[in-house]
Amino acid sequence: MPASYATHRAQIEAILISWGMAKNDADRTAEVMAWADLHGVDSHGFSMITVYHERWKQGRLNILAQPSITRETPVSALIDGNAGLGHLTSRFAMDTAIAKAKVSGMAISSVRNSAHFGACGFYAKMAADAGLIGMVATSASGKQVAPAGGAEARLGTDPLAFAAPGKDGEPFLLDMATTTVAAGKIRNKFNEGLPTPPGWLVTKEGLPSTDPLEATNKGGSLTPLGGTPEGSNHKGYGLAAMVNILGACLSGATLITSPMHMKQPFGQDIGHFFMAIDPGLFRDPADFKADVASFCDELRATKPMDPAKPVMVAGDPERKNAAQRMEHGIPIGAGLFEKVRAIAAEHNAPWMLN
């Protein structure tokens, strides 16, 4: 039976606390993870517990880490995540960028020495909720994607997000991997013992594969956005390179192409990028929001190919999922359920899910 949002979030928090995370930090981290699941981004919430647990046991996560600013100007901040999970560091980084942008008009926070931070969209939405434009990007831990035309993985899923305030409660909110699908969706297929759909993965020879272990265990890779040369996968490849330049080159985080990537004595040294822009630099912010709202509404008013499937804009599908799941609960696959329950039992965390 699906769990309520409150129970789902509390379960994540309880497990993080059982690993030694401070209660307030666990609450703020669980909020980001549960937000992803509530909005249908099942690849970045509850399912990540299995990944975080493995990295924590390997000594690659400082569960007590607090972010710190190491270099700062009125429009920028370089932030050290101190080898902790990325959620707290990223909230701090976007809060910092928002505060500076409110004064100077725009600002960027660059983060190094961090780890996976969940769904990009959460942080971009923070800026939109503050009346600002937000952009977020992050490098990755695992090499799972071959460059267009390549036969070996050199990149990660390298996601990015963009948000702009419009109609109240309905910001434009784009959150996307630069691959055909997020790696977490492939992990979810593995957790449930299911094959992946054609087009998600290729073998090391470049042939189609439906094996969810292809990219992690067999030398294959995820496909860049576009899938094939005929589908213009050079565009996904180019976006992935851009994300790494913003996330890693700018912050000084270890490049995913470096021989030292994921080989530091401690931590993962993932890099993040957060930008906030005040539209008031250019015009009345209320007029900007009105135009964004009008633009999105005009797109929604497009005649659909299928009358039963109206045209949406970025953020609409996730808000629809959130409304449904807030009412009916957040589902968890049986395979994932048992994996996480075992982790909770291992660390004596209370189990709250049916």
Q: pTM of the entire structure?
A: 0.94
Is the model's pLDDT at 104 over the cut of 90? yes
Residues 6+ apart with CB under 8 A from 31: 9
Of 69-78, 180-189, 333-342, give the lowest mean pLDDT range.
180-189
Is the model's pLDDT at 184 over the cut of 80? no
Residue 118: pLDDT band with limits 50, 70, 90: very high
- Provide φ and ψ at 23, rounded to 5°: -60, -45
| Alpha carbon distance 304, 231 (integer Å) | 23
From the number of C-beta atoms within 10 Å of its C-beta (0-12, 13-18, 19+), residue 222 rates as buried
Q: What would you measure as the largest C-alpha separation in the chain, in angstroms? A: 56
Q: What is the pLDDT of residues 45-58, one digit of tens each?
A: 999 999 999 999 99
How far is residue 108 from each of residues 51, 98, 136, 238, measured CA to CA in Å? 29, 9, 10, 22
Q: What is the pLDDT of residues 15-36, one digit of tens each?
A: 999 999 999 999 999 999 999 9
How far is residue 179 from each of residues 212, 286, 347, measured CA to CA in Å? 15, 35, 35
Of 45-54, 213-222, 292-301, give the lowest mean pLDDT range.
213-222
Residues 6+ apart with CB under 8 A from 214: 196, 201, 202, 203, 220, 221
- Provide φ and ψ at 64, rounded to 5°: -100, 5
Q: How many helices (H) and strands (E) does the chain have?
A: 11, 10
Is the model's pLDDT at 152 over the cut of 90? no
Give residue 121's pLDDT.
98
More confident residue, 267 or 8: 8
Is the model's pLDDT at 263 over the cut of 90? no
Average pLDDT of span 247-268? 92
Residues 6+ apart with CB under 8 A from 259: none
What is the CB neighbour count within 10 angstroms for residue 295? 14
* Residue (of 346, 348, 338) closest to 46 by Cα position: 338
Give residue 140's pLDDT.
94
| Alpha carbon distance 221, 219 (integer Å) | 7
SS3 call for 280: helix
Q: Which residue has the tokens 């909230």?
A: 91
Cα dihedral: 178, 180, 182, 188 (round 10): -170
Give residue 151's pLDDT.
82
The mean of the pLDDT values for the chain is: 95
Is the model's pLDDT at 142 over the cut of 90? no
Instruction: Please tell me the total number of residues recorded for the chain in this structure.
Output: 354
Is the model's pLDDT at 1 over the cut of 80? no
> What is the Cα gyration radius of the chain?
20
Residue 215: pLDDT band with limits 50, 70, 90: confident
What is the CB neighbour count within 10 angstroms for residue 249? 15
The CB-side HSE value for 304 (13 A sphere, CA atoms) comes to 10
CATH number listed for the domain at residues 5-285: 3.30.1370.60
SS3 call for 216: helix
Residue 219: pLDDT band with limits 50, 70, 90: confident
Cα dihedral: 91, 342, 177, 259 (round 10): 90
Residue 315: pLDDT band with limits 50, 70, 90: very high
Residues 6+ apart with CB under 8 A from 119: 32, 35, 36, 39, 41, 44, 45, 161, 175
More confident residue, 206 or 26: 26
